[in-house]
Amino acid sequence: MKSDRGDIELAGVCKSFDGVTNVVDGVNLRIDDGAYCCFIGPSGCGKTTILRMIAGHEDPTAGEIVIGGQNVVGLAPVQRRTAMMFQSYALFPHLTVRENIAFALRVRGQSKADRLRAADAMIEKVRLTQFADRLPAQLSGGQQQRVALARAAITEPRVLLLDEPLSALDEQLRVQMRQELRRMQQELGITFIHVTHTQLEAIALADLVVVMEQGKIKQAGAARDVYAHPHDRYVAEFMGGQNVLSGRVEKVNGASFTLGVPSGIEVPLQARPTVNVGDQVDIAVRRDDVALVRPGRDLPPGYTTSLPSRVLAIEYQGYFVKVMLDTVPDDEFVAYVPEKTFFADPFTVGDVVMATWATGSALPLA
């Protein structure tokens, strides 16, 4: 009994190529049917290996991969009803766009007329009709990507797996094709799993962002959860947009605690269960929550923490200005100041300022 659902469950999935180290190390994850899921992590973190195991190009060393309620370990990609879009697309160089797209139907033994008709319908869907008779080498990167997408989609998969699909494109096209991927996903109504190492790509596209490190999932959740509420230092630093500070707990007072180093930062407890005096704790403060005030001026209301800092560097970013500070000794500390605010009273490198934020902005990390 085959199911059309494309929900995926990974249960204790491990993969080792050499029998010693696990490239993927006990991954558990549920991906809903029709979700857009992004795996993100540095190269070598095992994200592509997970993708290839779901696709059926690698077998897990241990664990189960369940698609639509059926354990698919050991099945061929076609039996799993998954399709993969390869990094740099792997279009067949000797076949035209139409023949590339019709390939899956050809190996199924469909008649030439039938398969070319189906391919033409798919070509229209990805808006490549005028390029149908071209070879892959005669197409631009964006067009090649659409061919790859169409070639995978014609098999009517319930899960589409994309291995760094945008890495071969230049910046402008990447943003454009990102939208196109999302549009195709909604049009096809199937599960997309997308591997990337670009944070922006992941949070722009995904319903479910999975952050990985060394074969393990560090955090999985909605894009906004992962970005705004990172579990730990790794996720906070990897997703970016956060300042991570480290210090010893000086005082625990009910719903908040005070961090000693560098000096008296009050942090609400939030989700963190227990904090004891003397613990070494990491906290995160969003870079755009940090305000910069000249020494001696009043802090904005509710802004309790203020740390004296020197401006190390300034980068103009358009709608905001990136100000790098020496607030904490060992870690990078950055404030994203809105352009208009910054230029109302601009700082220069070497200025001493107070980096300040509202108490609620500090987030304790695991």
Partner 1 sequence: MSAVLADMPKTGTSKTVVPASTKAIAPSKGGRPWTFYVLATLFAAYVIALYGPMFCIYILSFQDIRGGLVFPMKGQSLHWFVDLFTQVRTGDVKGSFDRSIKLAVIVTIITVVVSFLAGLGFRKRFRGDTFVFYVMIGSLVAPGLVLGLGTGLLFQALGLNASWYTSALGAQLSWTLPFGVLVMFAVMSRFNHAWEEAAYDLGASRWQSIRLVMIPVLAPGLVAVALFGFTLSYDEFARSLQTAGSLNTLPLEIWSMTLNVTSPSLYALGTVTTIVSFIVIGASLGTIVLIQKKRGSQAKG
* Spacing of C-alpha 213 from chain mean position: 12
Give the residue carrying structure tokens 């630093």. 237
Q: Does 67 bind partner 1 (CB under 8 A)?
A: no
Touching partner 1, residues 309-348 (CB under 8 A): none
Identify which of 210, 157, 212, 211 has the alpha carbon closest to the alpha carbon of residue 185.
157
Q: Does 349 bind partner 1 (CB under 8 A)?
A: no
Touching partner 1, residues 263-282 (CB under 8 A): none
Helices (H), 64-216: 77-80, 97-107, 112-125, 141-153, 171-188, 199-205
Q: Does 57 bind partner 1 (CB under 8 A)?
A: yes
Stretch of residues binding partner 1 (CB under 8 A), selected from 32-40, 55-63, 233-241, 274-282: 55-63
**DSSP letter at 289?**
G
In the complex with partner 1, which residue's Cβ is closer, 106 or 272? 106
Q: Does 83 bind partner 1 (CB under 8 A)?
A: yes
> CA–CA separation, 62 vs 218, rounded Å?
20
Q: Does 303 bind partner 1 (CB under 8 A)?
A: no
Stretch of residues binding partner 1 (CB under 8 A), selected from 21-29, 85-93, 300-308, 314-322: 85-93
Tell me the two tokens of residue 36. 């857009």
Q: Does 92 bind partner 1 (CB under 8 A)?
A: yes
Among 16, 61, 70, 87, binds partner 1 (CB under 8 A): 87
Q: 118 to each of 107, 122, 310, how far by Cα in Å?
A: 14, 6, 64
Tell me the two tokens of residue 134. 């071209």
Among 88, 110, 167, 246, binds partner 1 (CB under 8 A): 88
Helix (H) or strand (E) run with residue 280 in it: strand 280-286
Interface residues toward partner 1, by CB under 8 A: 55-57, 76-78, 83-84, 86-88, 90-94, 96, 103-104, 106-108, 130-131, 133-135, 138, 151-152, 155
